[in-house]
Chain A
Amino acid sequence: AAGVIQSPRHLIKEKRETATLKCYPIPRHDTVYWYQQGPGQDPQFLISFYEKMQSDKGSIPDRFSAQQFSDYHSELNMSSLELGDSALYFCASSFRGRSDEQFFGPGTRLTVL
């Protein structure tokens, strides 16, 4: 069965650069969630989208922005990268905002040097 696809899987950037992470939800899923997981930390909810509209916002820095497109894929844009942004970024998707059926992608590992 198709799963959540995230790209790239690994990304290395320098401080103050920008990065764009992409998430392709499971077919028919209309809700996307973004999480940040630092080393040894729990996943922190960043932001979610339902039917292409932002549905909730967590601890997402102002330097980050995200959107969901007409095909339901989502992109997380990160600017002015800082060393502390190094983390695993997970995207999850669900159908009709059902948080009990969130399926996670394999994550993008971002390293900021």
Chain B
Amino acid sequence: RKEVEQDPGPFNVPEGATVAFNCTYSNSASQSFFWYRQDCRKEPKLLMSVYSSGNEDGRFTAQLNRASQYISLLIRDSKLSDSATYLCVVAETGGFKTIFGAGTRLFVKA
């Protein structure tokens, strides 16, 4: 079993749709959680950190459920420019070792 698991998708949604991605992690001692975005052949870029209380940044909302070891990302009002691969990332205590999920591909169509 992989340490961080995501549904690879792809998710094909129309512009304006709301889409949610889920991620589970196996190490209960994990301390830090993030969502990264990666465009084709480009480097991953931090989208947002995920806090226990949940956090929102514009159209993006991240949630963490430590009891279920589950992280989610909700994208509202999808834009064409949201098309990318979304990577769930978990860092162990101390934060030096970061584990990436396989990524979920999103295609937003006009």
The interface of chain A, by Cβ under 8 A from chain B, is 31, 33, 35, 41-45, 48, 50, 55-58, 88, 90, 97-107
What is the interface size of chain B, counting residues whose CB is below 8 A from a CB of the partner? Answer: 22
- Total contacts A to B, CB within 8 angstroms? 59
Inter-chain contact A33/B101, CB cutoff 8 Å: no
- What residues on A are CB-neighbors of B102 within 8 Å? 41-42
Q: B8 to chain A: closest CB distance in Å?
A: 10
The interface of chain B, by Cβ under 8 A from chain A, is 32, 34, 41-46, 49, 87, 91-92, 94-103
Inter-chain contact B100/A44, CB cutoff 8 Å: yes
Given contacts A55-B94, A56-B96, A98-B95, 9 further A-B contacts (CB under 8 A): A33-B96, A42-B101, A43-B44, A43-B87, A45-B98, A48-B96, A48-B97, A56-B97, A101-B46
CA distance A35 to B96 in the complex (A): 12
